[in-house]
A and B are shown apart, each in its own frame.
Chain A
């Protein structure tokens, strides 16, 4: 059985072999130059106090830049939030601190989560620690890169359409997106309320199994978290895996398909039944997702107008419409403007039924299709991304529609709100490739179980193993 980073750290701290304060101070000194050269952090917490006791005994944790941390700059990768310091902790941050976690800083991301490669960050793109000429993936790119270089750490991250799975795959770490509503979104700077989920990245599934019960659970400040059944993680027998044929046949990189087939074979050898199935509605996932996500974003971001948060615009001689337009024009990036406008368009009179209402119905169809398959199978599996982490110069050449289409493997489970985990599946050209497991609503326990089964058959590689001295 693999000894995970967090497990190892926690038992050492518990036994008094490791002093959390000395560990943290040494770690921060070592982390700083790498975090800077790879641009992983929006801001490092220079006054980091070591957490005490609890479940985590000072285990370091980072926070994606769109999750509020009290008295700490939180910008969601956007210039429009420069200078904003939330007067409160998000529920997940509050819970990690209460469990004895040590907050080490906020990680870089695409502006408001609008991206697949973290290149839409107003403060520069994080670079992949496996090859710094390549993307970390997005939108939680900084969280994934940080997880890839720190031995003992968990990252609070967030997914709307694949923003945990994609970067976890590109940076060779484990990324779990829980069921929609499993983790409170109170204190999350929202992109699309009906799609956003706060989740975790770590170096092993056992690290995830330690942190998930801390952040999960009902929160009166987020009504969507109140419907959840209690989280119970146990070792479940995984007997069957379904593979949606439509998704696999749309992958062009044959090496990724071959690696995936070999991975399924390993699981079959362990006694798991693998069946190819059809999920015809998934072909509509990309348009349905982008219409819903952009429509919700276009209303959510209306609050950023230069008055209440971040960038203050002191041009009070201007009329209010002119004032709002000026601050938004100057502060939003290109992709943010594109998505706000797409969402506004999809909600406009005359197009609402054609786009928005139809997308909502397709989501229902996709939810039904997933639930139908998961009645007969424990989990569904695909590769996480259809490509290796691309170089920055390759990304510049991609059109927006091309980039959106690359999300076809991660968008379906996000649209359906089912839990999913991306795990390192293997390495091609010394770059990590991810495998994606999906389970039914509230069934995170099955993902942990299939994850443990997978990790018994897979050796992970990490580009760096930074840790503090004990």
Chain B
């Protein structure tokens, strides 16, 4: 596909993915990306003259009845989270 991948690109992709890489990881992933994208470059020759398939079968939208339902009590849902007075704790925004 003629795409030049370098360490800078790997670091950019990691940053967007919210992953921090050690220098040796960056190097290893650069090699992996080069090998994988080189194998994927066979797609260059493919010229599919059709619409994209977002699903393998035809999907329609179905909506449930607009009726209130408490399937899982909220207190049970927040049991998996760090909370304070039933508010979910999170990191600082600024």
Q: Is the CB of B91 within 8 A of A363?
A: no
Which B residues are CB-close (under 8 A) to A316? 89-92
Give the distance in Å from the alpha carbon of A345 to the alpha carbon of B36 in the complex.
12
Of the candidate stretches A56-64, A138-146, A320-328, the one touching chain B is: A320-328
B32 interface neighbour in A227, A291, A338, A351, Cβ under 8 Å = A338
- Which residue of chain A lies nearest to B16 when distances are taken between CB atoms in the complex? A344
Give the distance in Å from the alpha carbon of A405 to the alpha carbon of B33 in the complex.
14
Give the distance in Å from the alpha carbon of A307 to the alpha carbon of B91 in the complex.
9
B51 CB to nearest chain A CB (Å): 6
Give the distance in Å from the alpha carbon of A84 to the alpha carbon of B80 in the complex.
6
Q: Is the CB of A400 within 8 A of B55?
A: no
Q: Per DSSP, are chain A's interface residues mostly helix, strand or loop, or mixed?
A: helix
B13 interface neighbour in A348, A354, A400, Cβ under 8 Å = A348
- Which residue of chain B lies nearest to A179 when distances are taken between CB atoms in the complex? B57
A358 interface neighbour in B38, B48, B59, B94, Cβ under 8 Å = B48
Q: Is the CB of B90 within 8 A of A417?
A: no
Q: Does A176 count as interface, using CB distance less than 8 angstroms?
A: no
B47 CB to nearest chain A CB (Å): 9
Give the distance in Å from the alpha carbon of A319 to the alpha carbon of B90 in the complex.
10
Report A291-317 residues with CB < 8 Å from chain B CB: 291, 298, 302, 305, 307-310, 312, 314-317
Given A328-B18, A329-B20, verify A181-B57 contact (CB < 8 Å).
yes
Q: Interface residue count for B (Cβ, 8 Å)?
A: 54
Report B77-92 residues with CB < 8 Å from chain A CB: 77, 79-82, 88-92
Given A88-B72, A329-B19, A417-B57, verify A361-B92 contact (CB < 8 Å).
no
Of the candidate stretches A32-40, A218-226, A381-389, the one touching chain B is: A218-226
Report A60-90 residues with CB < 8 Å from chain B CB: 83-85, 87-88
Q: Is the CB of B56 within 8 A of A415?
A: yes
- Which residue of chain B lies nearest to A361 when distances are taken between CB atoms in the complex? B48
Q: Is the CB of A321 within 8 A of B18?
A: yes
- Which residue of chain B lies nearest to A325 when distances are taken between CB atoms in the complex? B18
Q: Does A98 count as interface, using CB distance less than 8 angstroms?
A: no
Q: Does B8 count as interface, using CB distance less than 8 angstroms?
A: no
Q: Is the CB of B77 within 8 A of A87?
A: yes
Q: Is the CB of B40 within 8 A of A318?
A: no
Q: Is the CB of A399 within 8 A of B32?
A: yes
B19 interface neighbour in A84, A341, A351, A401, Cβ under 8 Å = A341
Given A354-B1, A365-B48, verify A227-B29 contact (CB < 8 Å).
no
Quick one: CB contact mask for B3-44 with A, threshold 8 Å, 1 for yes?
Answer: 100000010011011111100010001001101101110110
Q: Is the CB of A87 within 8 A of B57?
A: no
Quick one: CB contact mask for A259-293 with B, threshold 8 Å, 1 for yes?
Answer: 00000000000000000000001011011101100
Q: Per DSSP, are chain B's interface residues mostly helix, strand or loop, or mixed?
A: loop
Which B residues are CB-close (under 8 A) to A357? 52
A7 CB to nearest chain B CB (Å): 31
Q: Is the CB of B91 within 8 A of A320?
A: yes
B94 interface neighbour in A227, A319, A344, A399, Cβ under 8 Å = A319
Which B residues are CB-close (under 8 A) to A437? none
Q: Is the CB of B80 within 8 A of A364?
A: no
Given A87-B72, A287-B43, verify A341-B51 contact (CB < 8 Å).
no
A148 CB to nearest chain B CB (Å): 30
Which B residues are CB-close (under 8 A) to A401? 32, 35-36, 38-39
Q: Is the CB of A319 within 8 A of B92?
A: yes
Quick one: CB contact mask for A335-375 with B, threshold 8 Å, 1 for yes?
Answer: 00110111011001001001101111111110110000000
Given A223-B62, A404-B36, verify A320-B16 contact (CB < 8 Å).
no
Q: Does A409 count as interface, using CB distance less than 8 angstroms?
A: no
Q: Is the CB of B92 within 8 A of A288?
A: no
Which A residues are CB-close (under 8 A) to B21? 337
Given A220-B62, A367-B56, verify A318-B92 contact (CB < 8 Å).
yes
Q: Is the CB of B50 within 8 A of A284?
A: no
B68 CB to nearest chain A CB (Å): 15
- Which residue of chain A lies nearest to B91 when distances are taken between CB atoms in the complex? A323
Quick one: CB contact mask for A227-254 with B, threshold 8 Å, 1 for yes?
Answer: 1000000000000000000000000000
- Which residue of chain B lies nearest to A329 when distances are taken between CB atoms in the complex? B20
Which B residues are CB-close (under 8 A) to A195? 56
A87 interface neighbour in B18, B33, B51, B76, Cβ under 8 Å = B76
- Which residue of chain B lies nearest to A332 when distances are taken between CB atoms in the complex? B19
Report the 6 A-B pairs with minimum CB-CB distance, sorted nearest first. A417-B56, A360-B52, A323-B91, A364-B53, A361-B48, A287-B40
- Can you sample 30 A-B contacts with CB below 8 Å? A85-B79, A87-B73, A88-B71, A223-B61, A224-B55, A227-B57, A284-B42, A287-B40, A298-B17, A317-B92, A318-B91, A320-B92, A324-B18, A324-B91, A328-B18, A337-B19, A337-B21, A338-B32, A340-B17, A341-B19, A345-B13, A348-B13, A354-B3, A361-B52, A365-B48, A365-B50, A399-B32, A401-B39, A404-B39, A416-B56
**Known contacts A358-B46, A364-B52; 8 further A-B pairs (Cβ under 8 A):** A85-B79, A87-B73, A224-B59, A284-B43, A308-B88, A342-B36, A360-B53, A364-B51
